[in-house]
């Protein structure tokens, strides 16, 4: 099996980690004054692929304790042994008779990521399964379940988006209500997730009326207020309910999550894998071809709203597409993928400073327009993370 290798990872979720993994063993003085090695992996982790797995590694009285939480399976708990950059643990679960053995090592892509591989399992989780985790509290994973698009069932005219706000570590919430083709009511707020209460709450609620010009640009924006307080909670049916100190109609909202359909297997093959694997390295014009491929791959993520798809279903489709390709096609993608990711990382951090190669390739304006799209960066980072962790391809 040949795993897609990576030297780095662009992912918005990493901006929301609440704890950090040192990545190295550190010397800890013992009672007799000698130096002992502290396990490098102590901390809390969430999986990068938004599958709901969480991992906690602690040390009590010199014994490493590991707790792996798996959706629908529950907690796998047990003791582990750290040896250098590897942690081996035997974990038990009340639902299965036989324990599983896992091995935890630093991920190939670095960036404080770790990989957990199941090396022996008789039932439940399958032997050979691997999961990639990043530092973060389980509450962060739980709150990510709220991220996405929501639709008001009551009015059938209002929609809401919730995304991580990379600027302040909160969640950016926006509700829009279309009054006519040219006017729109909008509510915006930066919310904090309360793990204990399981709510998103805010104190900076803004509300305004937007008027649009014929070309779709905002002609005017009138602020009504910008100091409302409120919260969102999930009811038993999985609907979001809204309370707001100034918006009286908030109590009538019943918001239901909806997801984008996502790409088909054929879409993944032709518009993503073949696009990135479709140019040769080190050939004349390869840098321009790489810029074109990067632009097309970024458009693919944005057009299909990868950030708002059913992630498990999307991953299954992606893996099916990958396995449908020949070894030569897979190798071509592997050879180019990380270079495309690095190029997009540069242009996302500083477009003006890195726009030259896109302009020379004839896609400068297209790339700039894509970067200005709502949620495009989140869609791309979600696609990257799931590409890196989607599985292995057969040799």
What domain range includes position 162? Answer: 146-258
Are 132 and 190 part of one and the same domain? no
251 and 270, same structural domain?
Answer: no
Answer whether residue 284 is part of any domain: yes
Residues 383 and 275 occupy one common structural domain: yes
- Please indicate, yes or no, if residue 9 is contained in any of the structural domains: no
Establish if 2 belongs to a structural domain. Answer: no
Residues 130, 153 within the same domain: no
| Res 140: pLDDT | 54
pLDDT at 33: 47
Residue where a domain terminates, one of 136, 156, 174: 136
End of a domain among 114, 136, 158?
A: 136
Q: Are residues 120 and 159 in the same domain?
A: no
Q: Are residues 348 and 282 in the same domain?
A: yes
Tens of pLDDT along the chain (395 residues) come to: 333 333 333 333 333 333 333 333 444 444 444 445 678 899 988 887 666 788 999 998 889 999 998 877 788 999 999 998 899 999 998 878 888 999 999 987 666 789 999 988 777 677 888 888 888 765 555 566 788 999 999 999 999 999 887 667 789 999 999 877 788 999 999 998 887 788 999 999 999 999 988 777 788 899 999 999 999 999 989 899 999 999 999 999 999 999 999 999 999 999 999 999 999 877 767 899 999 999 999 999 999 999 999 988 999 999 999 999 999 999 999 999 999 999 999 999 898 999 999 999 999 999 999 999 988 998 998 998 889 877 633 33
316 and 347, same domain (yes or no) = yes
Domain total in the chain: 3
Q: What separation, in Å, do the N-terminal and C-terminal C-alpha atoms of the chain show?
A: 5
Q: Rounded distance, CA 203 to CA 192, Å?
A: 9
The answer to whether residue 141 sits within a structural domain is no
Q: Within 10 Å of residue 301's Cβ, how many Cβ atoms?
A: 24
Q: Does residue 4 fall inside a structural domain?
A: no
Residue 7 lies in a domain: no
Domain end, chosen from 103, 136, 169, is at 136
Residue 212's pLDDT is 85
Answer yes or no: do 213 and 272 share one domain.
no
Say if residue 70 is in the same domain as residue 130: yes
Residue 300: inside a domain, yes or no?
yes
Are residues 230 and 159 both part of a single domain? yes
Q: Indicate if 254 and 275 belong to the same structural domain.
A: no
Is 1 inside any structural domain?
no
Do 111 and 211 lie in a common domain? no
Q: How far apart are CA 45 and CA 21, in angstroms?
A: 9
In this prediction, residue 34 carries a pLDDT of 43
d(CA 329, CA 277): 7
| Residue 277: per-residue pLDDT | 95
Looking up residue 77, the CATH number of its domain turns out to be 2.40.128
């Amino acid at each position: 099996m040949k795993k897609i290798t990576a030297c780095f990872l662009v992912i918005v979720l990493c901006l929301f980690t609440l704890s950090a993994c040192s990545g190295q063993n550190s010397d800890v003085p013992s009672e007799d004054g000698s130096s002992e090695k502290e396990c490098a992996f102590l901390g809390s982790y969430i999986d990068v692929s938004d599958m709901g797995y969480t991992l906690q590694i602690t040390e009590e009285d010199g014994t490493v304790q590991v707790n792996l939480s798996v959706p629908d399976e529950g907690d796998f708990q047990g003791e582990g042994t750290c040896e250098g950059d590897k942690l081996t643990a035997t974990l038990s679960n009340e639902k299965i008779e036989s324990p599983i053995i896992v091995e935890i090592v630093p991920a190939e892509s670095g960036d404080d990521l770790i990989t957990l591989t199941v090396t022996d399992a008789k039932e439940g989780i399958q032997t050979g399964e691997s999961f990639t985790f990043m530092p973060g509290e389980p509450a962060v994973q739980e709150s990510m379940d709220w991220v996405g698009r929501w639709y008001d069932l009551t009015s059938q005219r209002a929609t809401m988006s919730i995304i991580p706000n990379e600027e302040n570590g909160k969640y950016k919430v926006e509700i829009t209500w279309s009054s006519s083709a040219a006017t729109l009511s909008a509510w915006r707020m930066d919310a904090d997730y309360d793990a204990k209460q399981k709510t998103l709450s805010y104190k900076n609620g803004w509300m305004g009326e937007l008027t649009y010009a014929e070309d779709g640009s905002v002609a005017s924006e009138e602020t009504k207020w910008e100091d409302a307080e409120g919260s969102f909670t999930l009811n038993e049916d999985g609907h979001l309910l809204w309370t707001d100190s100034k918006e009286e109609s908030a109590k009538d909202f019943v918001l239901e999550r909806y997801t984008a359909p996502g790409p088909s297997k054929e879409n993944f093959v032709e518009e993503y894998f073949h696009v990135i694997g479709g140019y040769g390295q080190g050939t004349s014009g390869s840098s321009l071809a790489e810029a074109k491929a990067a632009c097309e791959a970024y458009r693919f993520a944005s057009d299909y709203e990868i950030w708002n798809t059913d992630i498990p279903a999307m991953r299954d489709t992606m893996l099916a597409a990958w396995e449908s390709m020949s070894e030569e096609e897979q190798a071509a993608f592997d050879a180019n993928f990380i270079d495309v990711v690095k190029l997009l990382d540069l242009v996302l951090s500083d477009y003006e400073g890195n726009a030259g190669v896109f302009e020379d390739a004839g896609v400068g304006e297209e790339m700039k327009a894509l970067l200005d799209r709502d949620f495009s960066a989140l869609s791309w980072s979600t696609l990257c993370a799931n590409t890196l962790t989607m599985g292995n391809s057969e040799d």
